[in-house]
């Protein structure tokens, strides 16, 4: 509805995501609790908040002939980083960008059921399941681009299989989804192609590339995956992570990298850490540097009021005291933190 005309006047107000968009753009992107809320209320409403608006204004004002700018959303737990990211992604996709959304990079560094040694590079490891899942979701998100983008290079997967130069991206992605074994390499190839092709200007059928990564601090942390001899795997040794890191490097033009820090899924980091320096570590900070930090805080008074009214409007708060007396209690108990507020109101 509001698409591109969101401005500061709309701060604190809710806008509805069309259901079609929900299925195409966010097959895997939204936080779990938000998805449940969407299912309950039968509609997806997102609040327009300051961090998201800031990001969108930067994106509007950026120069895309220069190397990609990196934005980092950081903040306390549950303050709305992922939701801001999703808001920005929605904006980007309505503007016609190609969105490369990695919903949770933490999922790629832990609980890996299958780990294959990479065919491309012997010291690295592949994660076929995660890669093929991601490719499937990528396909759903960016349908229209798949036929338009042509490959610049020939990729050989096995002795018999190869993808020719000039074939559409869709074919590559389909191959990755069907041939699970080489899906990680397919991911790498897709990323490389997109990186190269995003640099072109709009006239020559170029596009803008938005790389959105949630939980970017996992790329430089530790993993819980172990090799067969029980020694831990470093993140660099995973193909997916390796390729992602190449994406984050700002040596390509024509797009932007939007990332969120996340402590919730991160491994081996204290729960009180939320600043970029703490969560990214030395290595990560150096790689991400320079970036534009965007802090995300708890709801302001106006935003809290808006959220509360939304819940009241949807008849989510059934308690008779919800109108007046209960509000102060809820403010105190949740301290205006969005996720805590949502959990509190869940049983009221």
Partner 1 sequence: MEWTSSLIVPQDSIKSNWLIPAPPKVLSRQLCVSSALHRKNLAAAGPEKFSEEFIKKQVEEYNIGKRHLANIMGEDPETFTQQDIDRSIAYLFPSGLFDKRARPLMKVRPEFLPGQLKSVQWGADGRPFHFLFYTGKQSYYSLMHDTVAKVLAAEKQQVLLLSEGPVPQDTKPISLVGSRWLLKEELEELLVETISDHDYARFIQLMERLLSLPNCLSEKDFVQRYRKQLEIQSSKQQVAPLQYDENGVAYSTADGRRKTATCTVLLRDCGSGSISINGRDYLHYFPVLQDREQLMFPFHFLDMLGRFDGQCTVGGGGRSSQAGALRLAISRAMLSFLSEGQVESMRQAGLLTPDPRVKERKKPGQEGARRKFTWKKR
- Chain contacts with partner 1 (rule: CB under 8 A): 76-77, 271-272, 328-329, 331-335, 337, 340, 344
- Decide whether 56 or 345 has the Cβ nearer to partner 1: 345
Q: What is the closest distance, in whole angstroms, from the C-beta atom of residue 167 to partner 1 in the complex?
A: 52
* Contacts for 190 with CB less than 8 Å, ≥ 6 apart: 135, 138, 169, 172, 173, 176
Q: What is the closest distance, in whole angstroms, from the C-beta atom of residue 54 to partner 1 in the complex?
A: 23
Q: What is the closest distance, in whole angstroms, from the C-beta atom of residue 263 to partner 1 in the complex?
A: 11
Give CA–CA dist 319/136, Å, rounded: 43
Q: What is the closest distance, in whole angstroms, from the C-beta atom of residue 66 to partner 1 in the complex?
A: 39
Q: What is the closest distance, in whole angstroms, from the C-beta atom of residue 302 to partner 1 in the complex?
A: 16
Q: What is the closest distance, in whole angstroms, from the C-beta atom of residue 328 to partner 1 in the complex?
A: 4
- Decide whether 160 or 328 has the Cβ nearer to partner 1: 328
- Decide whether 250 or 334 has the Cβ nearer to partner 1: 334
Q: What is the closest distance, in whole angstroms, from the C-beta atom of residue 342 to partner 1 in the complex?
A: 13
- Decide whether 268 or 332 has the Cβ nearer to partner 1: 332
- Decide whether 313 or 329 has the Cβ nearer to partner 1: 329
> Within 10 A of 323 (CB to CB), how many other CB atoms are there?
11
Q: What is the closest distance, in whole angstroms, from the C-beta atom of residue 344 to partner 1 in the complex?
A: 7
Q: Which of 213, 177, 172, 202 is nearest to 86 (CA)?
A: 213
What is the 3 state secondary structure string of the chain? CCCCCCCHHHCCCEEEECHHHHHHHCCCCCCHHHHHHHHHHCCEEEECCHHHHHHHHHHHHCCCCCECEEEEEEECCCCCHHHHHHHHHHHHHHCCCEEEEECCHHHHCCCCCCCEECCCCCCCEECHHHHHHHHHHHHHHCHHHHHHCECCCCEECCCCCEECCCCEHHHHHHHHHHCHHHHHHHHHHHHHHHHHHCCCCCCCCCCCEEEEEECHHHHCCCCCCECCCCCECCHHHEHHHHHHHHHHCCCCECEEEEEECCCCCCCCCCCCCCCHHHHHHHHHHHHHCCCEEEEECCCCHHHHHHHHHHHHHCCCCCCHHHCCHHHHHHHHHHCCCHHHHHHHHHCC
Q: What is the closest distance, in whole angstroms, from the C-beta atom of residue 346 to partner 1 in the complex?
A: 11
- Decide whether 9 or 328 has the Cβ nearer to partner 1: 328
- Decide whether 312 or 344 has the Cβ nearer to partner 1: 344
- Decide whether 15 or 316 has the Cβ nearer to partner 1: 316
Tell me if 221 sits within 8 A of 281, measured CB to CB: yes
- Decide whether 159 or 328 has the Cβ nearer to partner 1: 328
């Amino acid at each position: 509805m509001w698409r591109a005309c969101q401005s500061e006047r709309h701060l604190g107000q809710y806008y509805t995501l069309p259901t079609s968009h929900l299925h195409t753009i966010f097959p895997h992107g939204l936080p779990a609790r938000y998805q449940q809320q969407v299912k309950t209320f039968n509609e997806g409403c997102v609040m327009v908040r300051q961090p998201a608006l800031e990001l969108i204004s930067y994106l509007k004002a950026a120069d895309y002939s220069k190397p990609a700018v990196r934005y980092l959303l950081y903040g306390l737990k549950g303050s709305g980083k992922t939701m801001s990211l999703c808001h920005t992604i929605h904006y980007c996709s309505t503007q016609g960008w190609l969105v490369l959304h990695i919903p949770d990079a933490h999922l790629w560094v832990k609980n890996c059921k299958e780990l294959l040694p990479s065919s491309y590079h012997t010291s690295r490891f592949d994660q076929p399941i995660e890669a093929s899942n991601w490719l499937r979701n990528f396909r759903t998100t960016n349908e229209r681009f798949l036929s338009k983008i042509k490959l610049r290079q020939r990729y050989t997967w096995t002795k018999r299989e190869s993808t020719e130069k000039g074939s559409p991206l869709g074919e590559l992605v389909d191959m990755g989804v069907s041939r699970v074994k080489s899906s990680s390499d397919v991911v790498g190839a897709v990323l490389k192609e997109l990186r190269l092709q995003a640099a072109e200007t709009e006239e020559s059928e170029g596009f803008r590339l938005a790389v959105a990564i949630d939980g970017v601090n996992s790329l430089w942390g530790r993993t819980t995956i172990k090799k067969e001899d029980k020694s831990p795997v470093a993140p660099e040794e995973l193909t997916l992570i390796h390729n992602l890191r190449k994406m984050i490097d700002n040596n390509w033009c024509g797009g932007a990298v939007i990332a969120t820090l996340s402590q919730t899924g991160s491994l081996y980091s204290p729960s009180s850490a939320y600043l970029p320096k703490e969560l990214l570590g030395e290595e990560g900070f150096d790689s991400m540097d320079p970036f534009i930090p965007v802090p995300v805080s708890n709801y302001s008074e106006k935003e809290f009021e808006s959220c509360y009214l939304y819940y009241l409007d949807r008849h989510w708060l059934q308690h008779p005291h919800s109108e007046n007396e209960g509000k102060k209690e809820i403010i105190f108990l949740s301290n205006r933190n969005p996720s805590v507020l949502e959990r509190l109101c869940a049983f009221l």
